[in-house]
Amino acid sequence: MKRILIVDDNPQNLYMLEILLKSKGYEIAKAPNGQVALDIAATQPPDLIISDILMPTMDGFSLCRKWKTTPEFQKIPFIFYTATYTDDKDITFALSLGADRFLVKPLEPEELLTAITDVFKKLENQGTSVLTTDEKPAGEYFKTYSETLVRKLEEKMLQLERANKQLAALYQASCELTTVKSSDEMIRRVLNTIVETAGYQQANYFAFDQTTQMLSLAASAGFSTETETTYKDQLVFKLGEEKGLVGLVADTGKLLNIGDVKADNRWVLMDATINSALFIPVTFESTLLGVAGLFSREKNAFNEHDEQDISALSNSLAIAIENKRNQEQVQKHFNRLEALHRIDLAINGNMDLREILNIVLSCVFDQMSVDAAGIVLFNRFSLGYEYACGNGFLMRPVDTRDLHQRYILAEKVILERRMVHFESVNSKDIPEGYRSLWDKEGFQEYWGVPLSSRNEVKGALEVFKRSRFIPKAEWLAYLDTLAGQIAIAIDSFEMVEGLKKSNIDLRIAYDATIEGWSRALDLRDNETEDHTLRVVDTTLELAAAMGIKNDDLIHIKRGALLHDIGKMAIPDEILRKPGPLTEEEWVVMRKHPQFAYELLSPIGYLHRALDIPSCHHEKWDGTGYPRGLKGEQIPLAARMFAIVDVWDALRSDRPYRKAWPDDRVIQYIQEQSGHHFDPEVVQVFLSVVQKMKI
């Protein structure tokens, strides 16, 4: 059994070679450097030595020279097996030291075994190389050895410098991954960092669209603006497409290193200066996100270290993109909830229906990314349709025919009471009457959702896209939610409008009832016939002149109509007595304001009308009845009405006296200013009377 000594400072390399050679029946000895190898060989010389070059303590070149100048070892074959010293000068120098073979890592196992077999056969037939001091003078050896080491050291320094740049770029890129808000901006910054810091000439990123299964250029660095503009539309690849290599890398999920792109007929020329490319898929948990690419003007520019670097970058980029996507998704959900809250506030704020629908429509555009949208309302009484609002349409209806055309899709949604979808791919399904409008607008997709509330369809929400779009389930669910909010808004509006109408009807009924009471009182008290209607009109004019507005006028009107309602409790023999009342009868008569309060106070909607019926006989100086209120203790409505009541009473015939002329009545009112009446109200009243005369 032949014995082979393998020398390498990498334990993994030693292990792999040991397993391979033992499987072929060789006995194995191992050494981590040249000095240990010499010590092992001195104890038990091997039949063959296989050595790396770059090792601590004693490297492969020194070991070979020592081996070939030592009588005990010089006839034992020596094979170099290295991945570091691979230049032609390295090979020439190694063979000049007496090496039998120079093999470059990595080799296929069969190739390595064949080389070993050939060396043993050559040993049997011709012997092996022997190095003597005469053949290779020490000075020449050390000169060549030093040059080789210096050259290799320079190469290593350059590699280290480049590695440091790449590490710095990776670190800076990692920082970029966490400092920007959007995915696109993050990717663009990372690519710029790679190009500016790591020494790569150009880089780009192709984003994968799950819907279309296409990869398109999303960001690049190092390319001229003119190049990006010219080729951007061309750089779109289908998943699995070999042309351009991007689709191929995305499909296989494997890194691709092209040393000479111009020799590869799959390459798509973008920049004539590019000679090599390195592509890697960017994936997160087996989900393809895109493909990253590095480019160089040199051929074979990318080695295994570059592949490791871009792999690390790809992993970091994938995690960052996914994190950004998750953040954007959370933000999207938050924005959608906020939009729903805006709609709720609009509904609860009892806004006009058109305002609410416009708010909803703006939310549709903000959250759903559609190109056009509209809301069609269905009138269940007329069985007709109304276009409530819309936005994003290129064509505006100009006549009834155009309007009817716009209702065609909505009508289908409303009648079928379900979500309806049309797309250009299946244009034959689009109703004939709508196709011309569809083509003019350039629509590609349509979704219509019924607006249903309490098992009743109120209309339809329609959204349109002018590009192909395959929505996710959450998109459709949110569209359905918005439709539900619109239905609630319409339902709430109809309920509020119904309540308003009911309130108006009820108010009309209340006022009719009050007027009925007033007429009944006029019929019972002949002295007051038509008196009530006159004082109501005059009191309202006076109140308006005093600056009283809106609902307060309504309550004053009701109070004026009911000012003598308390007389309903006065006996007929007193109320209808043709002559003057006795003192005892006046005591009863003066109770009618109190009776009015007792009659009306239990009725809630008349509370604000109580001032006139209960206080119109109070006097400014406090001598009135029933409570003897004084000055501004008397409600303003009662102070105004007191003047009007006296004005009308004195100007009317009574059984016990004739009507006074206007001048005498005015004189009386002026005399009672500050006694019976509020002086300020008197002044306003007199101006109103003057206008009435004119």
Which residues are registered as beta bridge partners of 461? 375, 449
Amino acid 148: pLDDT: 57
Spatial separation of the C-alpha atoms in residues 463 and 481, rounded to whole Å: 14
Write out pLDDT tens, residues 252-264: 999 999 999 989 8
Amino acid 644: pLDDT: 95
Q: In this structure, is the dihedral angle defined by the CA atoms of residues 481, 482, 486 and 492, taken in order, positive or negative?
A: positive
Spatial separation of the C-alpha atoms in residues 291 and 204, rounded to whole Å: 8
Selection from 319, 321, 264, 272 nearest residue 297 by Cα: 272
Structure tokens at 465: 């896209």
pTM tops 0.85: no
Structure tokens at 475: 């998109």
Amino acid 620: pLDDT: 96
Task: Name, in order, each residue with C-beta under 8 angstroms of 189's C-beta and a sequence gap of 6 or more.
Answer: 176, 180
Spatial separation of the C-alpha atoms in residues 548 and 290, rounded to whole Å: 73
What integer best gives the mean pLDDT of the chain? 84
Amino acid 625: pLDDT: 94
Write out pLDDT tens, residues 49-90: 999 988 888 989 889 989 998 999 988 999 999 887 777 888
Selection from 200, 203, 208 nearest residue 270 by Cα: 203
Selection from 38, 73, 77 nearest residue 59 by Cα: 38
Structure tokens at 95: 């063979």
pLDDT band of 134, cuts 50, 70, 90: very low
- 53, 85 contact by CB (below 8 A): yes
Task: Name, in order, each residue with C-beta under 8 angstroms of 17's C-beta and a sequence gap of 6 or more.
Answer: 6, 8, 28, 50, 81
Give yes or no for residue 198 having a pLDDT over 70: no
3-class secondary structure, 81: strand
Give yes or no for residue 266 having a pLDDT over 80: yes
Write out pLDDT tens, residues 413-434: 999 999 999 998 777 778 877 8
Amino acid 169: pLDDT: 56
Q: Which of the residue ranges 212-221, 369-378, 399-408, 450-459 would you say has the lowest mean pLDDT?
A: 399-408
Give yes or no for residue 152 having a pLDDT over 70: no
Could you tell me the domains of the chain?
A: 3-136 (3.40.50.2300), 167-329 (3.30.450.40), 349-480 (3.30.450.40), 525-693 (1.10.3210.10)
Give yes or no for residue 564 having a pLDDT over 50: yes
For residue 132, give Cα distances in angstroms to 74, 90, 96.
Answer: 9, 20, 11
Amino acid 133: pLDDT: 45
Amino acid 174: pLDDT: 58
Write out pLDDT tens, residues 341-359: 777 777 777 677 888 888 8
- 340, 428 contact by CB (below 8 A): no
Query: Residue 469 phi/psi, 5° resolution?
Result: -155, 125
DSSP string for residues in 470-518: ---HHHHHHHHHHHHHHHHHHHHHHHHHHHHHHHHHHHHHHHHHHHHHH
E-strand ranges in 393-489 read 420-423, 445-453, 456-465
Spatial separation of the C-alpha atoms in residues 445 and 471, rounded to whole Å: 10
3-class secondary structure, 628: coil
Spatial separation of the C-alpha atoms in residues 291 and 208, rounded to whole Å: 8
Amino acid 494: pLDDT: 80
Distance of CA 334 to the CA centre of its chain: 7
Amino acid 348: pLDDT: 73
Structure tokens at 308: 């490791």
How much of the chain exceeds pLDDT 70, in percent?
87
Which residues are registered as beta bridge partners of 421? 447
Spatial separation of the C-alpha atoms in residues 439 and 420, rounded to whole Å: 19
Write out pLDDT tens, residues 584-601: 999 999 999 999 999 899
